[in-house]
């Protein structure tokens, strides 16, 4: 069967840059799906995308669809014909479905059957429908109409190229008649560009100053930006999302170095970087110490004979933005950071929970409580909490919302606040995402926990629990953040006491009944997902959850110990024994004796187990108190032999009530030893 290359290129007005790569990938996926559904064999499929075009190249596409056999089963014979042999509606309906007369239907078997061979169609006849279907299914949130036409697309279309080999496929899609003429660069080569064949597509456009391959343009920009930054004795900040967006804005990228006045460097560099990246799509430069250089890189979409004009134009455009940032910074510094709290008295945090100022006061008190219970600086924690939301009322954050926390850091330093307090104002929002950076200071870690815990308790307290699809206050992220900070920063906080303290601060604003248990369950349940991501078995998590440690750090230490215990050769047998003991104790209806009495022993294995338990208690209790859980479980592993021997030789449910009760007390003592670390019966 013969095969040819196939090319489709749809030309449009400038496509949305943030969506270009996604649209391109979806276009290719739709073409691939259509070819698969049609049974058309093909080789490699490539997608190309530039600001004014989406294209797909399919190598070695079969020229003819293969023939297909269709076998349809109909109703049973007895249902297809009545007693007189006349066809029923079921038989007639099946014939209509098959598109033939009833006489051509096979009735030799128990059911009516119809078989036919469908001849394959030429690929050229199928491709227009495949392309159109793929375009219709693109992830476009809002479609546009243009002129008086009813066609809809993400942007008005301008041209259409569809070549199968060297032949144009005769069709019209989205108001464009297919041809072989593309368009070159809007300024360098505005004339039509003839595409001789699919395989020459990239080079034909390259000759017209268009690099159609998105990945090639992206790599070219990244490499040239890196080179220019090095020439300026700096390094470029190149966020992947910004690089993608810039790549989607240009057809013929030409990176250029621009500069701005050094006086702007007195403004927090985060504000300058934010405005240059978000508003102007520039790549900022840092020196070896991570300080912003008074230069940036813009990517022009034209190879100018006088690039100085482009540089000057960009420098002129960015100056007002930097001047605004400078003005806001200077205005905010005219008053103390703490004074901005007055404005926050009138800013609602949540209608039922009061103002943002009210939240800051609660966070301050809670931070002080946490600091007192985790060897932190109580005064600094309280001060950081009180200042934590002040910068939300500043001009800087009003203009640049991304500066919340960062602006507070600079203003706190300007006011002479302690370094840790200033850092905490930014670190309260950490971690800002999964796996993101944690606070570097203890005060920052404490403030971050206090802020998140206050939000959790308040929102849960008014019944606004997150659902599967909605979590407007990011409570899941808050809980995960609390856990990461407590575990990774080694803060041994009793969460039960901290949650109770947080609840008390809200007073009648929240429904306190059952709230503590609800919040704690929500927080600790987040650990389950964390451990699953780390490859820790669910049973390990459940074994620790069963003993309900109040500290996330303590919880993690126990999980790591149980995970190590599971690798010991004695683990499986001891887990099974603990499960058996748990089941037996669960069925024991009488009151357990407070002590084990050796006088009721009537089997040597009882004495052996009792002696082994006494020795284990002496060794394990100090280890458990020191949270050396791994060592404790390794020591308890020595109990396997006496436990196995006990169950082999002893009938626990003895007829004598005193003997029976004593044996249950012995087993309860065994189980209690393990429960000092975890409920390993959950591992069985």
DSSP 347-411: SEEETTTEEHHHHHHHHHHHHHHHHHHTT--HHHHHHHHHHTTGGGGSHHHHH-GGGTTHHHHHH
For residue 401, give every residue at least 6 positions away whose Cβ sits within 8 Å of its Cβ, in sequence order, or none.
Answer: none
CB atoms within 10 A of CB 658: 12
Helix (H) / strand (E) element for 485: namely helix 475-488
Token digits for 152?
């809809």
Higher pLDDT, 371 or 674: 371
| pLDDT-wise least confident of 85-99, 359-373, 392-406 | 85-99
- What tens digit of pLDDT does each residue of 634-645 get? 998 888 888 888
pLDDT given for residue 107 in this prediction: 86
- What tens digit of pLDDT does each residue of 366-376 get? 999 999 999 99
pLDDT class for 605, splitting at 50, 70, 90?
A: confident
Assess whether pLDDT exceeds 70 at residue 4.
Answer: yes
Q: What CA–CA distance (Å, rounded) separates 153 from 10?
A: 11
DSSP notation for 416-467: T--HHHHHHHHHTT---STTPPPPSSHHHHHHHHHHHHHHHHHHHHTT----
pLDDT class for 117, splitting at 50, 70, 90?
A: confident
Helix (H) / strand (E) element for 48: namely strand 45-50
For residue 641, give every residue at least 6 positions away whose Cβ sits within 8 Å of its Cβ, in sequence order, or none.
Answer: none
Query: Do 296 and 318 contact (CB within 8 A), yes or no?
Result: yes
Query: Do 56 and 7 contact (CB within 8 A), yes or no?
Result: yes
| pLDDT-wise least confident of 105-109, 474-478, 658-662 | 658-662
Query: Do 292 and 283 contact (CB within 8 A), yes or no?
Result: no
| Overall average pLDDT of the 657-673 stretch | 84
Which of 592, 588, 565 has its CA nearest to residue 684? Answer: 565
Assess whether pLDDT exceeds 90 at residue 341.
Answer: yes
DSSP annotation of 593: P
pLDDT class for 555, splitting at 50, 70, 90?
A: very high
Residues listed for the chain: 684
Q: What CA–CA distance (Å, rounded) separates 307 from 189?
A: 19
Assess whether pLDDT exceeds 60 at residue 575.
Answer: yes
Assess whether pLDDT exceeds 70 at residue 571.
Answer: yes
Strands 157-164 and 3-12: antiparallel
pLDDT class for 396, splitting at 50, 70, 90?
A: very high
Residues of the chain with pLDDT > 90, as a percent, come to: 71
* Rg of the chain in Å (alpha carbons): 36
Cα 168–chain centre separation: 44
Token digits for 241?
């999302």
Residue 182: strand pairing partners = 193
Token digits for 683?
């591992």
Token digits for 648?
């082999």
Burial degree of 637 (CB within 10 A; 0-12, 13-18, 19+): middle
For residue 45, give every residue at least 6 positions away whose Cβ sits within 8 Å of its Cβ, in sequence order, or none.
Answer: 28, 31, 32, 56, 57, 58, 59
Average pLDDT of the residues of the chain? 92
Token digits for 567?
């690798």
| pLDDT-wise least confident of 251-265, 278-292, 523-537 | 523-537
pLDDT class for 670, splitting at 50, 70, 90?
A: confident
pLDDT class for 1, splitting at 50, 70, 90?
A: low
Assess whether pLDDT exceeds 70 at residue 55.
Answer: yes
Q: Is the peptide bond before 438 cis (omega within 30 degrees of 0)?
A: no
Q: Is the peptide bond before 560 cis (omega within 30 degrees of 0)?
A: no
Q: Which residue has the tokens 């040239």?
A: 224
Helix (H) / strand (E) element for 53: namely strand 53-62
Which of 343, 335, 356 has its CA nearest to residue 411? Answer: 335
Between the alpha carbon of residue 622 and those of residues 201, 287, 325, 562, the distances in Å are: 76, 53, 59, 18
Token digits for 425?
């104002």
Q: What CA–CA distance (Å, rounded) separates 92 from 94?
A: 5
- What tens digit of pLDDT does each residue of 15-36 get? 999 999 999 999 999 999 999 9
HSE at residue 4, side-chain half, CA atoms within 13 A, is: 18
Token digits for 46?
């490539």
Q: Which residue has the tokens 């392309």?
A: 131
Query: Do 161 and 54 contact (CB within 8 A), yes or no?
Result: no
Residue 176: strand pairing partners = 173
Token digits for 83?
């007693």
Q: What CA–CA distance (Å, rounded) separates 46 from 59?
A: 8
Assess whether pLDDT exceeds 80 at residue 675.
Answer: yes
pTM across the whole model: 0.79
pLDDT class for 329, splitting at 50, 70, 90?
A: very high
DSSP annotation of 171: -
Query: Do 382 and 376 contact (CB within 8 A), yes or no?
Result: no
pLDDT given for residue 95 in this prediction: 87
pLDDT given for residue 98 in this prediction: 82
Q: What CA–CA distance (Å, rounded) separates 204 from 610?
A: 88
| Overall average pLDDT of the 431-448 stretch | 93
| Overall average pLDDT of the 358-384 stretch | 97
């Amino acid at each position: 069967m013969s095969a040819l290359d196939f090319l489709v290129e749809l030309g449009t007005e400038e496509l949305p840059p943030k969506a270009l790569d996604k649209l391109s990938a979806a276009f290719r996926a739709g073409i691939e799906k259509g070819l698969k559904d049609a049974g058309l064999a093909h080789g490699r499929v490539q997608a190309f995308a530039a600001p004014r075009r989406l294209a797909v190249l399919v190598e070695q596409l079969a020229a003819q669809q293969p023939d297909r056999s269709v076998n349809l089963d109909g109703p049973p014979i007895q249902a297809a014909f009545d007693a007189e042999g006349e066809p029923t509606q079921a038989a007639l309906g099946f014939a209509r479905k098959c598109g033939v007369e009833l006489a051509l239907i096979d009735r030799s078997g128990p059911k009516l059957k119809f078989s036919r061979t469908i001849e394959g169609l030429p690929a050229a006849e199928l491709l227009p429908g495949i392309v159109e279907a793929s375009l219709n299914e693109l992830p476009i949130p809002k479609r546009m109409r243009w002129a008086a036409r009813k066609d809809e697309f993400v942007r008005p279309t301008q041209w259409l190229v569809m070549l199968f080999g060297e032949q144009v496929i005769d069709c019209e899609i989205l108001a464009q008649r297919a041809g072989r003429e593309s368009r070159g660069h809007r300024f360098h080569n505005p004339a039509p560009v003839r595409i001789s064949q699919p395989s020459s597509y990239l080079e034909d456009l390259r000759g017209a100053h268009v690099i159609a391959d998105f990945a090639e343009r992206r790599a070219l920009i990244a490499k040239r930006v890196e080179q220019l930054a090095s020439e300026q004795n700096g390094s470029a900040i190149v966020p992947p999302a910004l690089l993608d967006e810039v790549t989607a804005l240009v057809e013929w990228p030409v990176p250029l170095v621009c500069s701005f006045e050094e006086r702007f460097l007195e403004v927090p560099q985060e504000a300058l970087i934010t405005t240059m990246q978000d508003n102007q799509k520039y790549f900022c430069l840092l020196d070896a110490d991570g300080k912003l250089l008074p230069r940036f890189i813009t990517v022009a979409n034209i190879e100018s004979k006088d690039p100085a004009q482009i540089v000057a134009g960009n420098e002129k455009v960015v100056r007002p933005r930097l001047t605004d940032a400078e003005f806001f910074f200077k205005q905010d510094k005219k008053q103390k950071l703490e004074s901005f709290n007055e404005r926050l008295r009138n800013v609602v945090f949540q209608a039922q929970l009061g103002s943002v100022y009210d939240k800051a006061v609660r966070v301050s008190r809670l931070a002080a409580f946490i600091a007192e219970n985790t060897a932190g600086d109580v005064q600094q924690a309280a001060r950081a909490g009180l200042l934590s939301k002040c910068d939300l009322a500043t001009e800087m954050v009003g203009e640049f919302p991304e500066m919340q926390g960062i602006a507070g850091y600079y203003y706190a330093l300007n006011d002479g606040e302690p370094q840790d307090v200033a850092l905490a104002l930014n670190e309260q929002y950490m971690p800002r995402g999964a796996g993101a950076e944690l606070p570097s200071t203890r005060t920052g870690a404490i403030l971050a926990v206090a802020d998140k815990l206050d939000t959790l308790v308040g929102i849960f307290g008014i019944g606004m629990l997150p659902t599967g699809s909605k979590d407007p206050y990011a409570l899941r992220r808050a809980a995960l953040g609390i856990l990461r900070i407590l575990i990774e920063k080694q803060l041994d906080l009793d969460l039960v006491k901290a949650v109770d303290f947080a609840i008390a601060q809200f007073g009648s604003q929240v429904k306190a009944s059952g709230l503590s248990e609800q919040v704690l369950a929500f927080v600790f349940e987040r650990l389950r997902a964390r451990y699953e991501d780390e490859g820790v078995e669910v049973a390990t998590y459940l074994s620790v959850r069963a003993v309900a440690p109040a500290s996330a750090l303590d919880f993690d230490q126990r999980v790591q110990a149980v995970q190590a215990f599971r690798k010991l050769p004695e683990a499986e047998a001891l887990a099974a024994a603990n499960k058996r003991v748990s089941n037996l104790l669960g069925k024991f209806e009488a009151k357990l004796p407070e002590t084990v009495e050796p006088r009721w022993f009537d089997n040597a294995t009882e004495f052996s187990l009792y002696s082994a338990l006494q020795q284990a208690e002496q060794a394990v209790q100090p280890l458990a108190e020191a949270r050396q859980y791994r060592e404790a479980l390794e020591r308890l592993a020595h109990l396997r032999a006496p436990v196995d021997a006990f169950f082999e030789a002893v009938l626990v449910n003895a007829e004598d009530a005193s003997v029976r009760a004593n044996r249950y007390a012995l087993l309860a003592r065994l189980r209690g030893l393990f429960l000092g670390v975890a409920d390993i019966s959950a591992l069985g």
